[in-house]
Chains A and B, each alone.
Chain A
Amino acid sequence: MSTVGTGSNDKCKIGVYVCHCGINISSKVDVSKTVRFAAKLPHVTVSREYKFMCADPGQDLIQQDIRDGRINRAVVASCSPLMHEPTFRNTMAEAGGNPFLFQMANIREHVSWVTLDNTAATEKAMSLISAAVERVVFHQPLMPNRVPVHPDVLVVGGGIAGIHAALTLADAGQKVYLVEREPSIGGHMAKFDKTFPTLDCSACILTPKMSAVRAHSNITLWSYSEVIGVDGFVGNFKVRVRRKPRYIIEERCVGCLDCIEACIYKSGKVPDEFNEGLVKRKPVYIPFPQATPLVAVIDAKTCIGIRTGKCKMTCIDACERDAIDLNQSEEINEIEVGAIILATGFKTFNAKRIYRYGYGKYSNIYTSLELERMVNAAGPTGGEITLKNGQKPKAVGIVHCVGSRDNKTNKYCSKVCCMYSLKLAHLIKERTGAEVYNFYIDMRTPGKGYEEFYDRLLEENVHFIRGRVAEITDWVMTPEEEGKLVIRAEDTLVGVVRRVPVDMVVLSVGLEPQPDAEDVGRLFNISCTREGWFLERHPKLAPVSTFTDGIFLAGACQGPKDIPDSVAQAGAAAAEALALIDRGYVVLEPNTAYVQDELCSGCKTCIDLCPYGAISFDDEKDTAKVNGALCKGCGTCVASCPSGSLQQYLFTDDQIFSEIKGVILYA
C-alpha cells in the first residue's frame, strides 16, 4: 500500500462502518453485502456493520479501531451528514484521531428511504460508500477554527414572543437589543381582548411584561426601527438598524397627549391601524394607552406640517417639553451581536380575497381581529358590540376557516381560529345575548383546557353547524330574512342546505406569513417554506434553530401558533442563544479557501468574485491571498481559478474528483 493523502505521512488505513439504523436502512439495503464490498476497496483495513452507529457501542467500534491502530481514517455509511457528521467527527477526535479524516455516506435519506427496489438500493449504497472511501484518502488533517462569541443578542420583533425572549435573556444578564417596526411593542397580543381558554384579559397579562422591557437595564428597546443589514457569522454578527424618524424626541416625550389635543385636525383623519381601521386617528398619535415606549409619533405621510410646511404647528407650542422636532431624520445604528432571535410574527388573511363572503361589500361583516377590538373596553366602541345602526345584534354568524384549509387560498390549518372563534362566541353571547352560529369544517381543540372550553360553549347554547359557508348575501327569500345577512352553507351532519339569517357576521381569518417574510429571510440568510413561514433547522429536534448558525426563531414567524406555544418557543430560542453565548466560542467549519502560491499566476480572476471581499492581492509575491476570517467557504473562487491554485479545505478538487470517480466506477 502506498502512502497517500496530502499533509499526512501515515499510511492510509480506512475503516468503513455501515449502519442498519434499526431497519431504516437494512430493510432496503443488503448491509452485509455492502460491508463485504467495502472490505475489498483500496486502503480499507476494517469493514463493519452495526445496528445503530450513532449509539455509544457503535461509536466505540470506531474508537477501538483507532486506538488499536487498525484505522486512521473512517467512513460511516448511515444518515445525512447534516444529521450526524458532528457526532462522528467527535468520535474520531475523542479517540485521538483527526476529526476531519472522516467522511459520511448518506445511505438513509438518499438511498433506503427513497428507493423502491432492494437491489437498486444496495447498488446505490455501495457506490456512495466507494465514493466516500475514494474521497477520504485525500482528506487532510485540519484544526477546527475557534472564534469568540459576542455576548449581546438581537431580538427582532416586539410581539409576545420577542418580548419573552428579550426578557429571558436580559434576566440572565445578557445585553439585548429589541427592535420593533411599529411605534410600540406588543404585537397582535396587545390588540386582543381576552385570551382563550382561561378568558384572562390579554392586556392585563401582557402590559406588565411590556413595562418590564422598558424598565430593564439590560434591554435597549428600539421601536419604530427596522433591521436593514446583517453581516458576519455566528457569534459575530454586524447588524445595521434604521431608526425611522418619529418627529418626537423620544427622551423628552412623556406621553401626555397635549400635542395630540393641539393638532389642527380636530378629529381623526387616518384609519387607526391599532383599531383595525374601525376608527380614525390624527397624524400625531400614540397607538394605544399602554403603548411602550409611551411616546407619541407623527405620521409623515399625513401631517401637513411635515408634508407642506404650511401648518400652524400648534402641536409644537403645546408641547411643554420641546419634544417635537419636525426636521428629525432617520438614524442608522450599527451594533455587534453574537446571536439573533427572529420573532417577526404573522399577518391575518385578507378577507376580501374570498369575495363570496362579502367582506367590504356589506356592512356588519367583520374580521375576527376587528371584533376583537370591538369587544375590548379600550376599543372604538368602548366594548359594546353594536351594528352600524347602533343597535345590538340579535343573531351573529361566525365563519371558521376563512383563508385556511382551502385549496384556493391557504391549504394549511391556522391552528388558532377554532379556539379564538369559541372565545368570541362566548364574549358575544355574554355581551349581547345574541344567538351565535358557528360554521365550522372540523372543531380542532387540542390543548390544555381547550376541549373543556368547547364543551362549555356547547352548554352555553352556542349553535354549531358543520359545513363550509358557500356565500354570505343580502338576497332575501323570506320575510324573516328581510334586512338581514343570509349565510348559506350545507349542514353536512344533517345533509341539508341551510340559510341562516343573521345581523352580524364574523370571519375567522387565518394566519399568514408577514408580506415581507421572504425579504426578511434573505436579509438574515434563512429559508422560508413555500407558504413563506421561516424554515426551522429540523421540524422536531431543532425547532427554533435555522440553517444559519446563531439565528433562532420564536413565535408565529415559523408557523401559526397560539400564545402559549409562542412563549414556549421564545423561551427555547432564548435558551439556545444563551447556550451559544455562555460557551464563549464557536467552532467554525474549516472549509475556507486557500491559495497555493507556487501555482497562482496572479490573474486576479478570483478577487472580484468573492462576495465577502476575503481575497486580496499580495503585490510582493504577485499572488492572491485569502483572509480566512472573512472567507465563508462557498468555493466560488476555487471553481473560477484557471490554474488550480485556489483550493477549498474539505472540498479540494482532488477530493471531489475522487468522489466522482467513486460514484461511477463501482456499482
Chain B
Amino acid sequence: MPERNDIERFFDPKIVAFFCNWCTYTAADLAGTARMTYAPNVRVIRIMCSGRLDPQFVLSAFREGADGILIGGCHPGDCHYQEGNYQALRRFILLKRLIHAFGIEKERIRLEWIAASEGDKVQRVINEMTETVRRLGPLDLEPITKKVIDYMSVTHHEMVSISHRGSS
C-alpha cells in the first residue's frame, strides 16, 4: 500500500475549467502571452459566458473522470452579458450542495472572477486549484453515483431521438 504522501506526490489530477470568452479566457491568453508558467493539469473549455455553465457539464466532467472543476467568469458587474455571472454564482452555490450530496468534496469545484487583465490571477488560481485537488487525491465515484449522473446527463441528442421515438 503506498503511503498517503506517495499518492500526493505521484498523483497528477485532471482538472477541467470552464472559462468565459470575454474575461477569464482572455486572461488565460494573456497569461500565455506574458509566459506565466503554471501547473499543466487544467484543461480549459471556452464558453461565451459563465452563465452558459449547465450544472450537468460539471457532473458529466466528474463522471468522465475529472478530479476537479474550475469555473471562471467576469467580476460582478462586469459581465459582458450584464448578469450571466450572477446566474453562474447562483447555480454554483446549489451545485456545491449537490456534489456534496453525491459524496464529492466541495473543494473539488471552484468559482473565480478573473478579469481580462488578470493573467497573474489565472496563474495563481490554477496552481492553487491543482494543489488543492492533489491533496484531496483522485476522485473515486461510487458506481451508483455514476449511474445517477448518467441518468441525469442525457444529452439533447439522445433526447431528440427519445422524443422522436415517442411521437412516431
Measured CB to CB, the residues of A under 8 A from B are 6, 80-83, 106, 108-111, 113-117, 120-121, 123-124, 127-128, 131, 138, 521-522, 525, 527-530, 535, 547-548, 591, 596, 598-599, 609, 611, 632-636, 638-640, 643-645, 647-648, 651-654, 656-657, 659-661, 663-665
Known A-B contacts A113-B35, A598-B163; the reply to A639 vs B52 at CB < 8 A is: yes
A531 to B, closest residue via Cβ: B117
- Can you list 11 pairs linking A and B with CB atoms under 8 Å apart? A81-B46, A108-B32, A110-B32, A110-B44, A114-B37, A609-B87, A611-B83, A639-B55, A653-B56, A654-B155, A654-B156
B48 with A611: CB separation less than 8 A: no
Point out the residues of chain A lying under 8 angstroms from B156, CB to CB: 596, 599, 644-645, 647, 652-654
Query: A654 — which chain B residues lie within 8 A by C-beta?
Result: 155-157
Interface: B9 (CB within 8 A): no
CB < 8 Å A-B pair total: 168
Q: Note all chain A residues with C-beta closer than 8 A to B33.
A: 109, 113
Contact between A114 and B26, CB atoms less than 8 A apart: no
Which residues from chain A contact B80 at a C-beta distance below 8 Å? 525, 547-548, 634
- Are the CB atoms of A660 and B57 closer together than 8 Å? yes
- Would A651 and B23 count as touching, CB distance under 8 A? no
State the CA gap A591–B47 with chains docked (Å): 11
A639 and B40 contact, CB distance less than 8 A: no
* B163–A599 touching, CB < 8 Å: yes
User: For residue A131, which residues in chain B have a CB less than 8 angstroms away from its CB?
Assistant: 43, 45
A82 to B157, CA, bound (A): 28
Contact: B52 with A657, CB < 8 Å? no
Task: Find chain A residues with CB under 8 A from B26 CB.
Answer: 82, 547
Nearest CB of chain B from residue A591's CB, rounded to whole Å = 6
Expressed in whole angstroms, the minimum distance between the Cβ of A465 and any Cβ of chain B is: 36
Kindly state whether residue B11 has any CB partner on chain A within 8 Å.
Answer: no
Cβ A115 vs Cβ B45 within 8 A: no
Query: In the bound complex, do residue B38 and residue A636 qualify as a contact, i.e. CB atoms below 8 Å apart?
Result: no
- Taking CB as reference atom, which chain A residue is nearest B58? A660
The one of A6, A121, A638, A643 in contact with B157, judged by C-beta atoms closer than 8 angstroms, is A6
Q: Give complex CA distance A128, B47 in Å.
A: 15
| Whole-angstrom CA separation of A661 from B167 in the bound complex | 30
Cβ contact within 8 Å between B160 and A639: no
| Chain B residues whose CB sits within 8 angstroms of the CB of A647 once the complex forms | 156
Q: CB-CB < 8 A to A121: which residues of B?
A: 40
Measured between C-beta atoms, what is the minimum distance from B52 to chain A in Å? 3
Contact between A82 and B29 (Cβ–Cβ < 8 Å)? yes
Q: A636–B82 Cα gap in the complex (Å)?
A: 11
For the complex, give the distance between the alpha carbons of A644 and B28 in Å.
Answer: 30
* Chain A: minimal CB distance from B69 (Å): 10
Q: Which of B103-124 contact A (CB under 8 A)?
A: 115-118, 123
Say yes or no: is B66 at the interface (Cβ < 8 Å to chain A). Answer: yes
